[in-house]
Structure 1
């Protein structure tokens, strides 16, 4: 683990006032086993050789750090670099963790993995890793998210995974996590839960942060090589927190590097239609899904419904590590609204020829909101955590693209006619 991550993690899994392990007694043996094997694989050279080989030869790491020269010229302020996790196999940072945890599952002798997914990228990554390493996979996904990200549902099934829709609650990520936990209670002897974000009961925040740390390790080496110095600011979107912690860890010890997490502002502060737990100051400390963190909840402790244009950012809680870093002032949190995200996406596509995922575009929007306060001597790194192929339906709707709508109608008529 990076020195930064080691400094953040305690044996009891607490990060300041947050974290811990609030689990049912039936799962205590499962968590004890995971902790034991997680500690063991840190010293297991054969494990790391296999993992690093998969990252290099299968996933395609290291991913580039791209200088965004036209975007830099567009704003005329800070130099902008983009960490290209979209070029990771499966199109997002999620495979870093999925490969590590599926390898861990094999080490524990498990034959099956389960996972939750919101935007579908973690589901695809888990299904991909399971197919590659020979385990069966079951993916839980809220019905609302399935409708928004059906292309990822299609690929999960083609990869051999069973995809189970969750039809209660808000039908999004928090409900998918609940259903995955129910499965695990009755199957942990043969099954490992590949949690996709740096949340949940200890040791999951540490495990996910550990496997995602490669993002920041690479970015730090790359920026030092091309610029000879560290960046002024590092930006990442924040749903649960996996890509943010992945890129932040390597820069955490350097107090002169600002770390900025960008949450889903949805329709704005006070709208009740967002997922900004920290930036809007609406998150309240509570315990749910096995850990203590800041959740969007009412005065009775019931979880509120969340909303975001980006399916992967509408989680009701946030990583306990990030909650602590925010409380200590080491990570600054801001939020980007749907409107700001769509505007940022158009700028990125037309200046750099890149199509970031809507989740990742929140990081760009946050950086663009700050860039007017920067100068030409500043350096921004923006973590492009995933590519936007999966978002074509949402983006077309957000851009009010009439040609796309007409295309969908034509295809629907063709399917109807062929079915007759």
Structure 2
């Protein structure tokens, strides 16, 4: 499993390059460049230097003593990706990809974003590297993530609204891909999750695997053994695969990805591609996806702007079919309750995306004995979501317990 993808970019039957010829040339140039530099001491050392001095790694592995006592059962740890510079795991990937872009001689960066965290990380890293930056974001997501839009603009990025379809993450990806094709010679497409045509799923996984590598070392130092469960939210799946990958060979470590059940597991009310989807091709790769009656990408929904994507990274599909990882879902209500529970019990405000994984942790911990250990990937902080939650409470849309 740790040797995948194969030379054609497949994880079993998932992944690959389902793209037009004009884009295939560009993607293969990217793949060759990545293969050239990824194992060189110069690239690795500069990547590690920026992770430490720009992003602030390593992030802590935090024991939730109050929550553990309240819940009973397993010990609950958080991998604190919310303490990265800019407040999420996304910067791990943007640093790696923009270093690659500089190696390739590119001058412009384009990216898509849903909740805005990838957009903010891209804008910041582009500013650091002196590159022109354009971010595509669904108009719906722009409205509910105004703070992150302003943060991107503060750092010199141009934010372009995606106005078609549901005006969320899928449409932002559509428009970013179109812009890339139009100026591929000068432009580097910085994809934010472990999705897209090869080499993106493997490349993003490699950059994000710093999460799992650190967590593995930290839990061995703190507890003298590996965890029993790893939990992470799954939209496209980059934070989850970053945590899971270094543990794939450890059979005693169970891995659970948590998708958004939204308002309920009926069409158009969730974005649980692995729980309720089927294999299909979207945005240049084959994976589980949610389809409408025409076999095209179905409308999706989540309270979290970072999880409303109708497909998922191909490596997750492979792990699901292989039985190595389990995939479950948490509803909007469960995520909001987890959002407030962590805030009140530990003084930590989680992102709504991360709150889905935490919701599963709150359910799982009491069912396990006290000698068991759960690590939840707290993939981002919730500052960006506070205004949205406040407005929804005022409107009566949500009523946390």
| Structure-1 residue corresponding to 2:116 | 120
For the Cα contact (< 8 Å) 1:342–1:399, is it kept in 2? no
Q: Could you report, residue by residue, the CA deviation over 1:167-208 in whole angstroms, capped at 9, with x for unpaired residues?
A: 110100010000000001111101110000000001100110
The count of residues paired between Structure 1 and Structure 2 equals 396
Paired position in structure 1 for 2:242: 246
Q: Distance in 2 between matches of 1:88 and 1:389?
A: 13
How far did residue 151 of structure 1 move?
A: 0.5
Deviation at 1:48, TM superposition (A): 1.4
* SS across alignment from 1:22: coil
1:332 equivalent to 2:326? Answer yes
Q: 1:81 aligns with which of 67, 77, 84?
A: 77
Q: Deviations over 1:335-382 (max 9, x none)?
A: 000111111111111111000100000000011122232110110000
What is the correspondence of 1:317-328 to structure 2 with a 5 Å cutoff?
A: 317-328=311-322
Cα RMSD between the aligned structures?
1.2
TM-fit CA distance, 1:69: 0.4
Whether the 8 Å CA contact 1:92–1:387 is kept in 2: the answer is yes
> What corresponds to 1:358 in structure 2?
352
Deviation at 1:401, TM superposition (A): 8.0
Instruction: Find the residue that maps to 2:273 and give its secondary structure.
Output: coil
- What residue is the counterpart of 2:309 in the other structure? 315
Listed one character per residue, the Cα deviations across residues 137-182 of structure 1 (whole Å, up to 9, x for unaligned) are 1000000000010100001011001110011101000100000000
Distance 1:257 1:83 in 2: 16
1:209 equivalent in structure 2: 205
8 A Cα contact 1:341 1:361, kept in partner: yes
Give the equivalent residue in structure 1 for 2:60. 64
TM-score of the pair, normalised by structure 2: 0.97
Deviation at 1:327, TM superposition (A): 1.0
Distance 2:196 2:389 in 1: 31
Alignment of 1:188-227 (within 5 A): 188-227=184-223
* Structure whose alpha-carbon radius of gyration is higher: 1
TM-score calculated relative to the size of structure 1: 0.92
Q: Output the CA distance in 2 between the equivalents of 1:304 and 1:400.
A: 31
1:399 Cα deviation (Å)? 3.7
The answer to whether 1:110 aligns with 2:106 is yes
Is 1:369–2:369 an aligned residue pair?
no
**Mapped partners of 1:391, 1:38: distance in 2:** 35
Cα distance 1:275–1:256, how it changes in 2: closer, same or farther (>3 A)?
same
Q: Distance in 2 between matches of 1:49 and 1:381?
A: 28
> How far has the Cα of 1:29 moved from its partner?
1.9
Query: Structure 1 CA distance, aligned partners of 2:24 and 2:336?
Result: 44
The runs of at least 4 consecutive aligned structure 1 residues that moved more than 6 Å come to none
Q: CA deviation at 1:250?
A: 1.0
> For the Cα contact (< 8 Å) 2:230–2:256, is it kept in 1?
yes
Compute the displacement of 1:301 (Å).
Answer: 1.2
Does residue 293 of structure 2 align to residue 299 of structure 1? yes
- Aligned match of 2:158: 162
C-alpha deviation, 1:242, in angstroms: 0.3
The answer to whether the 8 A contact 2:269-2:301 is kept is yes
Deviation by residue 1:26-58 (Cα, 9 ceiling, x = unmatched): 112211111111111123211111111100011
Is 1:344 matched up with 2:350? no
